[in-house]
Amino acid sequence: MPDERVDRPRSSSGPGRILVAVYAVFAIAATGRASLQIAEYFHRAPLAYLLSAVAALVYIVATVALARGDRTSVRVATVSCSIELAGVLLVGIASYVDRAAFPDQTVWSHFGSGYGYVPLVLPVVGLLWLRSVRRSSPDVVR
């Protein structure tokens, strides 16, 4: 972004620093879990494990986008946080409704209860943070 005069990406400074750190933890945790599930016992619960992989991918994209913080990245981060929120809500509901499809845990099943419900809170905090980032750094030069 040629018109950006800020020294550091706004979305990864201040409180955003912590947000990126938490996202990174979930990116690694979800990637690790999904890799293990798919490599070791994929046949046990294919749907749940594929969703684990999707979750991992979304966390990775969100982490990188939040850390970069240029205008495109903020947009990418907003999209991935939205997908993440939709994912945790849909998988959360599905895991209660259709228990047979989720015989094993994923990051998002039961609204992320296995991870202290952080997966449910994280996208909401992320979207709120991105909104404040967009508001405080408009596209004009400061």
Partner 1 sequence: MQAMAYARTVLLPVTVTVLACAAVLAVASGAVTARNRRAGTGLLVVAALTELAVVAQLVVGISQLASGDHDVSAALFVAYLVGLVVVVPLAVLWALGEPTRWGPGVLTVAALVVLVLVARLHQLWTGTGA
Positions that interact with partner 1 (CB under 8 A)? 8, 13-18, 20-22, 24-25, 28, 32, 36
Q: Give the residue with the Cβ less far from partner 1, 36 or 93.
A: 36
Minimum gap (Å) between residue 15 Cβ and partner 1: 6
Q: Give the residue with the Cβ less far from partner 1, 24 or 89.
A: 24
Task: Please count the CA atoms within 13 angstroms of the CA of 128 that sit on its side-chain side.
Answer: 7
Q: CB neighbours of 4 closer than 8 A, spacing ≥ 6?
A: 70, 71
Q: Give the residue with the Cβ less far from partner 1, 15 or 46.
A: 15
Q: How many residues does the chain have?
A: 142
Minimum gap (Å) between residue 52 Cβ and partner 1: 15
Q: Give the residue with the Cβ less far from partner 1, 111 or 115.
A: 115
Buried b (16+ CB within 10 A) or exposed e, 18-42: ebbebbbebbebbbebbeebeeeee
Minimum gap (Å) between residue 13 Cβ and partner 1: 6
**Could you tell me which of 70, 57, 71, 65 has the C-alpha nearest to residue 28?**
57
Minimum gap (Å) between residue 80 Cβ and partner 1: 20
